């Protein structure tokens, strides 16, 4: 069944967030799903294939998330931006980091195809953040001195970095970053 395939991918993403691409194994997956390693290999012959599936799912759910917020006409553009940032920051459990960050860290150990996928997803993430900021920018939410690229990369980078620190030092880090981001967006 194709449901098992989905189940494997979902679990694999969790494992990437917890242990990294290099750190997780087919054994981890098979044990948690109560099947054998060979069974996982049936669905994804090589780890590389699973790696590609992982990145594709990440991109897909990221994009869905964005479109959902983007199309919602009931909230202002400022609210959309803040909501998107909130969701990005809070969709993970306290000891989980962003799967994209995890794969960026393991970048040099990834198979070529997965490297290319990660590059794509990273670009996608950045362009989506820029799109939201550009829309809010027309409403004068930013300083004239701020430029869209700098603000976008800083918001993304600081959230991702904060998730790394949070894993080790606890929740204070992320809340500090969120409140600072809100300051950046508030003054105009």
Partner DNA sequence: GTCTATATCAAGATAGAC
Partner DNA sequence: GTCTATCTTGATATAGAC
The piece of 31-39, 45-53, 131-139, 140-148 that touches a second copy (CB under 8 A) is 140-148
Nearer to DNA, 2 or 144 (CB): 2
Q: How far is the CB of 51 from a second copy (least distance, A)?
A: 14
Note whether 16 and 24 are within 8 A (CB): yes
Q: Token digits for 49?
A: 């294939």
Taking the C-alpha atoms of residue 162 and residue 174, their distance in angstroms, rounded to an integer, is 5
Q: Token digits for 27?
A: 């054994």
78 Cβ contact partners less than 8 Å away, ≥ 6 residues apart: 136, 139, 141, 185
The piece of 49-57, 62-70, 133-141, 146-154 that touches a second copy (CB under 8 A) is 146-154
Tell me which of a second copy, DNA, none is bound by residue 122, counting a contact when its beta carbon lies within the kind-specific cut-off of 5 to 8 angstroms: a second copy
Q: Could you say which residues in the range 32-71 bind DNA, by CB under 7 A? A: 34-39, 41-43, 45-48
DSSP state of 97: -
Q: Does 133 bind a second copy (CB under 8 A)?
A: no
Which one of 118, 128, 132, 141 is in contact with a second copy (CB under 8 A)?
Answer: 118
- Residue 33: Cβ within 10 Å count: 14
């Amino acid at each position: 069944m194709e449901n098992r395939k989905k189940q494997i991918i979902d679990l694999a993403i969790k494992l990437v967030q917890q242990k990294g691409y290099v750190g997780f194994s087919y054994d981890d997956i098979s044990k948690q799903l109560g099947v054998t390693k060979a069974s996982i290999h049936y669905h994804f012959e090589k780890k590389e294939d699973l790696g590609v599936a992982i990145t594709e799912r990440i991109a897909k759910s990221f994009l869905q998330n964005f479109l959902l917020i983007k199309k919602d006409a009931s909230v202002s553009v400022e609210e959309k931006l803040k909501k998107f940032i909130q969701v990005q920051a809070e969709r993970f459990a306290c000891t989980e980091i962003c799967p994209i960050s995890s794969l960026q860290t393991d970048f040099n150990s990834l198979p070529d195809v997965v490297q290319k996928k990660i590059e794509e997803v990273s670009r996608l993430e950045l362009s989506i953040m820029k799109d939201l900021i550009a829309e809010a920018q027309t409403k004068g939410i930013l300083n004239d001195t701020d430029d869209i690229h700098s603000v976008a990369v800083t918001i993304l980078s600081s959230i991702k970095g904060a998730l790394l620190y949070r894993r080790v030092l606890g929740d204070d880090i992320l809340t500090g970053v969120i409140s600072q981001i809100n300051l950046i967006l508030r003054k105009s």
